[in-house]
Amino acid sequence: MALLAVENVYKSFQGFLALAGVSLEVAEGSFHALVGPNGAGKTTLFNVITGRFPPDRGSVIFQGKPITGWPTHRVARLGLAISFQRAQPFASMKVREAVTLARLGYAGATFHLLRPLGAFTEALDAAREALAKVGLEDQADRRVSELPLGDLKRLDVAMALVAKPKLLLLDEPLAGLSRAERRRMVGFIRELLRREGVTLLFTEHDTEAVLELADRITVLHQGRVLVEGNPEEIRHDVQVRAAFLGGTA
Amino acid sequence: MRLGLLFLGLLLLGPILSEYGLKLVSEALILGLYAMAFNLLFHQAGLLSFGQAAFFGVGAYAMALLVSRAGWPFLATLPVAVLASALVAFIIGFLSIRLTRIYFTMLTLAFAQLLYAVAHKWYAFTGGDNGITDLRPAGILGESLPFYYLTLLLFALGVGFLAALERSPFGYALRGLRDNRARAEAVGVDGFRHLLLAFVLSGALSGVAGFLQGALQRSVFPDYLFWTRSAEAIISTILGGSGVFLGPAVGAAAFLFLRVLVQANTEYWPFFLGLLLLVMVLFFPRGLAGVWENLAGWVARGVRRGAAGG
């Protein structure tokens, strides 16, 4: 059984059909890439999966459980974590605080009104561990607003990892990063997530990185699944070449 | 620690103050608590409520009605005042929080004005614009000094609670929602329920302030619910600085003392207030508390530079 199944999902915005019947299955333990030109519907699909808005039609099933239309916070608590394309973690906090809050959020444990955040040792330990995984442990006491973009991206990933997610969604994890940072992030994703046994669904424009990371690739084009296959198949697919060269398939 | 020193100072101040001084400082503490309650929403949660008067007024009217119509002892009405203002905040919050920004602000204003209209017109129940008068608490709390200590106690409890809240997971969750709501919800924080609880807590504390103000003034009028009363919380917060924890309370004290000072000498209080707010917003956006912090910073740096130079 697939960890995540998206079935025949439609979503339109003011007449623009962003998703036109997308179906997708993410197998447990796989690294699944979602690629396609801008406007193909990748981010919209992520937003439907995480409950930022409900689909017009179709369903989303996570671990065999229908979660279509669930609010974002409930989806997150199931172990479906996301790191956003535009990483803007909580700017008024310190790095450690942002990750600790995330940990308590996933556990539904933020309704403590009198105990200070610093007394939640389990969450603090989990935050320290997550920060160590992304290599930000020595930045824990810095203000989030002082971090450069590359560190913000890694912090945002730590805020997802601290959930110990079953499924991690990464929306363009390499966007805006320098060449060196890209290499680092790719290495990090491959080694860390494999070791942790996290299933990954990600979008990325960097074709090289996609072919290196993914073991399954779904190509979206104009809100539809153009083709799906392993990296070798996708590399030689005529339709994909046509779509990315701007022609019609 | 610093809060403890502040409360101790205010405690020792009591016996020194004149009758008039006690009333003035009591009023400053009440307005301070009210502004701090407003700032829980404004600074921490990023919600601009223009309807805080609703909860202030409900707290005051709950006290006044029970004392004057049902003969309850003054202090016994406190739990009812808190619950009534919390309940009204729950209802208004439930209906307003789904809206964002200016729509939220306008809706809170509309609800407060609705309650004002009810209090103003319902003579049989609220006494209409005649208000409810003769509310001097029976016994020792009718005296200025004991009343000052009651006010100080409730102020300290309220501010202590807000200080704990700011450092708690709940306080951080509110900040997370303010900083980036989508991110906060994606880490499992239920935005609506957090904001609603913050709204209810803010309403309950505002109700405590109204409860005290009614007793201090010995009367409650519909203007307790009027929008200018909501504006007082906002003005105090701007004056004192929303980004510093005690800023709103500092602003409330400054607001009252300036009003007394200006009104004693001229008739142009609103003009001076407007001028002051203009200067604060344009040149000192972090408020009086922010100015204080800047000064302290300069002094500290100056001392260090002086030491290095010498």
Ordered by where they begin, the domains of chain B are: 2-309 (1.10.3470)
Please tell me the predicted confidence (pLDDT) of residue A137. 92
Please tell me the predicted confidence (pLDDT) of residue B202. 98
Query: What residue in B sits closest to A49 (Cα-Cα)?
Result: B186
- Lowest pLDDT segment from B186-190, B233-237, B304-308: B304-308
Q: pLDDT digit string (tens) for A126-174?
A: 999 999 988 899 999 999 999 998 899 999 999 999 999 999 999 998 8
d(C-alpha A164, C-alpha B295), whole Å:
46
B55-to-B19, B77, B90, B128 alpha-carbon distances in Å: 29, 15, 10, 18
Q: Binning pLDDT at 50, 70 and 90, where does residue B306 land?
A: low
Please tell me the predicted confidence (pLDDT) of residue A192. 77
- The partner residue sitting opposite B167, judged by closest CB among A102, A104, A117, is A117
Residue A81 in this model has a pLDDT that exceeds 80: yes
Q: Binning pLDDT at 50, 70 and 90, where does residue B298 land?
A: confident
Å from A148 to nearest chain B CA? 17
Chain B CB within 8 Å of residue A118 CB: yes
Cβ of B230: how many Cβ atoms within 10 Å? 26
Chain B CB within 8 Å of residue A114 CB: yes
Please tell me the predicted confidence (pLDDT) of residue B142. 87
Q: How many beta-carbon pairs below 8 A join chains A and B?
A: 110
Sheet with A80-83: strands ordered across: A80-83, A167-171, A199-203, A31-35, A216-221, A224-229
Residue A238 in this model has a pLDDT that exceeds 90: no
Calculate mean pLDDT across residues B113-140.
90
Chain B CB within 8 Å of residue A85 CB: no
Please tell me the predicted confidence (pLDDT) of residue B307. 54
Calculate mean pLDDT across residues B14-43.
95
Residue A38 in this model has a pLDDT that exceeds 60: yes
Percent of chain B residues topping a pLDDT of 90: 74
Comparison of pLDDT for B109 and B286, the residue scoring more: B109
Q: pLDDT digit string (tens) for B196-223?
A: 999 999 999 999 999 999 999 999 999 9
Nearest alpha-carbon partner for B212 in B13, B6, B60, B58: B60
Q: Which residues of B touch A109 (CB under 8 A)?
A: 169
* CB contact set of A192 (below 8 Å; sequence gap of 6+): A133
Torsion angle of alpha carbons A158, A163, A164, A170, nearest 10°?
-50
Chain B CB within 8 Å of residue A121 CB: no
Cβ of B305: how many Cβ atoms within 10 Å? 10
Mutation target to probe the A interface, by most A beta carbons within 10 A, among B40, B172, B175, B177 is B172
- Lowest pLDDT segment from A55-69, A119-133, A226-240: A226-240
Please tell me the predicted confidence (pLDDT) of residue B304. 66
Å from B160 to nearest chain A CA? 10
Q: pLDDT digit string (tens) for B149-198?
A: 999 999 999 999 999 999 999 999 999 999 999 999 999 999 999 999 99
Q: Are B212 and B85 in contact (CB under 8 A)?
A: no
Calculate mean pLDDT across residues A30-40.
90
Residue A234 in this model has a pLDDT that exceeds 80: yes
Amino acid at B12: L
**Residue ranges per structural domain of chain A:** 1-70+201-249
Calculate mean pLDDT across residues B3-30.
93
Provide the mean pLDDT of chain A. Answer: 90
Q: Is the complex ipTM more than 0.85?
A: yes
Nearest alpha-carbon partner for B284 in B231, B243, B233, B252: B243
- The partner residue sitting opposite B169, judged by closest CB among A72, A82, A104, is A104
Residue A53 in this model has a pLDDT that exceeds 50: yes
> Mean pLDDT highest for which of A15-24, A99-108, B123-132?
A99-108
- The partner residue sitting opposite A73, judged by closest CB among B165, B167, B190, is B190
Q: Binning pLDDT at 50, 70 and 90, where does residue B310 land?
A: very low
CB contact under 8 A, B186 and A84: yes
d(C-alpha A79, C-alpha A164), whole Å:
7
Q: pLDDT digit string (tens) for A100-121?
A: 999 999 999 999 999 999 999 9
Q: Which long-range contacts (CB under 8 A, 24 or more apart) does A20-25 make?
A: A20/A222, A20/A223, A20/A224, A21/A58, A21/A223, A21/A224, A22/A58, A22/A220, A22/A223, A22/A224, A22/A225, A23/A58, A23/A225, A24/A218, A24/A225, A24/A228
Please tell me the predicted confidence (pLDDT) of residue A249. 37
CB contact under 8 A, A113 and B168: yes
Pairing of strands A216-221, A224-229: antiparallel
**CATH code for residues A1-70+201-249:** 3.40.50.300
Please tell me the predicted confidence (pLDDT) of residue B134. 86
Q: pLDDT digit string (tens) for B40-53?
A: 999 999 999 999 99
Q: pLDDT digit string (tens) for A190-202?
A: 887 788 889 999 9
Cβ of A244: how many Cβ atoms within 10 Å? 16
Q: pLDDT digit string (tens) for B238-273?
A: 999 999 999 999 999 999 999 998 888 888 888 888
Residue A247 in this model has a pLDDT that exceeds 50: no
Q: Are A133 and A192 in contact (CB under 8 A)?
A: yes
Q: Are B85 and B204 in contact (CB under 8 A)?
A: yes
- The predicted model scores a pTM of 0.91
